[in-house]
């Protein structure tokens, strides 16, 4: 099984993709707006992905945060708010904000589960900092570590209650970046003491099943490599200081913060210590180049993935409509 997650080109698998994916046997897949039309179509697509390998517990990812980062959108799918309203409510009514974040995440999870999507790239645990690039902005759960951790825990609980696996991101913190790592290479010049603030939510939720590491240079830890390609950051900070032992994936290999060919980028994140590389474009020539060089999942990587995919829905009878109604009632308190 290749240590890579691949994107798809469209709403259905092409004949070329079916052949390639069967041969490559990637660890998982990720869906984007180009892959999403209707609930029934997404369910058929995810069912077909599982049938390619006979893996019921296949990681099929999506970025369904709410607000501006949502691959499933109206009118075919319900709209979900960004994270900022939950952070605002927390300032006046912490318990209500935590419950609102939990039931909102449960509603998202129930939607994804019905569509056959097994993993959501949520929660964002980046502590928002003044003057930073707005790429995080209202996606953040706040500017104070305890608030971010409390609301992040609620999001994880809500997703897991629906049987959908969570991903904490962007380890070890994107909140200070002055540029968007999709467009350029951010360098964070904060001291180690200052970065302690960014680490706190990740330390608190280090038991999370999956995590995504940022393409950012942190001068205090490794001035020569972005975190996703830094063995120092991954071993000393992510696995060591934070204590994260979940399934660790890179952010997207096609982001401008990275250098070299897509294949070189993929090898770089794996050699640095990521369990799996994330390739999102769905471009066949790029996927072929990655498949030619990417190794198989390590035994540790397979253990972490299998453990994450054991998360199952609880017996809470609250359905999606009830969860959305409760969320809206609580958010009105703000």
Q: Is there a catalytic annotation at residue 182?
A: yes
Q: Determine, yes or no, domain membership for 69.
A: no
Q: What's the pLDDT tens digit per position in 191-202?
A: 999 999 999 999
Q: Determine, yes or no, domain membership for 117.
A: yes
Using a 10 angstrom Cβ sphere, with 0-12 exposed, 13-18 middle and 19 or more buried, the burial of residue 184 is: middle
Which of 99, 98, 95, 249 is closest to 165 using CA atoms? 249
Which of 301, 321, 300, 282 is closest to 10 using CA atoms? 282
Q: Determine, yes or no, domain membership for 152.
A: yes
Q: Determine, yes or no, domain membership for 51.
A: no
Q: Determine, yes or no, domain membership for 211.
A: yes
What pLDDT is stored for residue 183 in this prediction?
Answer: 78
Q: What is the CATH number of the domain that holds 94?
A: 3.20.20.300
Query: Would the pTM count as exceeding 0.85?
Result: yes
Structure tokens of 78?
């319900």
Q: Determine, yes or no, domain membership for 54.
A: no
- Domain of residue 208 covers 81-279+300-331
Structure tokens of 22?
């069967």
Among the listed residues 63, 138, 251, 252, the single catalytic one is 251
Which of 248, 294, 233, 288 is closest to 268 using CA atoms? 294
Looking at the structure of the chain, the number of domains it has is 1
Q: Is there a catalytic annotation at residue 160?
A: no
Q: Determine, yes or no, domain membership for 99.
A: yes
Among the listed residues 143, 157, 182, 236, the single catalytic one is 182
What pLDDT is stored for residue 70 in this prediction?
Answer: 97
Q: Determine, yes or no, domain membership for 120.
A: yes
Average pLDDT, whole number, for the chain?
96
Which residues, other chains included, contact 168 with Cβ-Cβ below 8 Å and sequence gap of 6+?
123, 125, 152, 156, 202, 205, 208, 210, 211, 212, 244, 246
pLDDT at residue 227 tops 90:
yes
């Amino acid at each position: 099984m290749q240590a890579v997650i691949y994107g798809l080109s469209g709403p259905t698998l092409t004949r070329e993709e079916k052949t390639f994916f069967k041969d490559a046997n990637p660890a998982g897949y990720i869906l984007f707006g180009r892959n999403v039309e209707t609930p029934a179509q997404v369910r058929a697509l995810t069912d077909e992905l599982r049938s390619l390998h006979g893996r019921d517990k296949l990681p099929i990812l999506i970025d369904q945060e709410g607000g501006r980062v949502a691959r499933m959108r109206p009118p075919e799918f319900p709209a979900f708010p960004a994270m900022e309203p939950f952070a605002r409510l927390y300032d006046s009514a912490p318990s209500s904000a935590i419950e609102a974040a939990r039931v909102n995440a449960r509603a998202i999870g129930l939607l994804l589960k019905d569509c056959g999507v097994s993993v959501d790239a949520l929660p964002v645990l980046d502590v928002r900092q003044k003057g930073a690039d707005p790429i995080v902005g209202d996606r953040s759960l706040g500017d104070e570590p305890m608030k971010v951790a409390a609301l992040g825990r609620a999001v994880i609980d809500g997703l897991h209650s629906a049987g959908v696996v969570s991903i904490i991101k962007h380890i070890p913190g994107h909140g200070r970046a002055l540029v968007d790592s999709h467009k350029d290479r951010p360098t964070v010049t904060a001291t180690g003491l200052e970065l302690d603030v960014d680490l706190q939510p990740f330390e608190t939720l280090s038991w999370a099943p999956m995590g995504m590491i940022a393409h950012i240079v942190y001068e205090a830890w490794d001035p020569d490599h972005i975190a996703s390609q830094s063995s120092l950051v991954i071993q000393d900070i992510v696995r060591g200081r934070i204590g994260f032992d979940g399934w660790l994936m890179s952010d997207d290999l096609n982001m401008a913060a990275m250098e070299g060919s897509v294949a070189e980028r993929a090898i770089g994140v794996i050699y640095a210590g990521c369990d799996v590389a994330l390739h999102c474009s769905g471009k066949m020539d790029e996927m072929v180049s990655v498949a030619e060089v990417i190794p198989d999942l390590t035994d540790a990587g397979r253990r972490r993935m299998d453990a994450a995919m054991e998360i199952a829905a609880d017996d809470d009878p609250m359905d999606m409509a009830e969860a959305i109604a409760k969320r809206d009632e609580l958010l009105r308190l703000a």
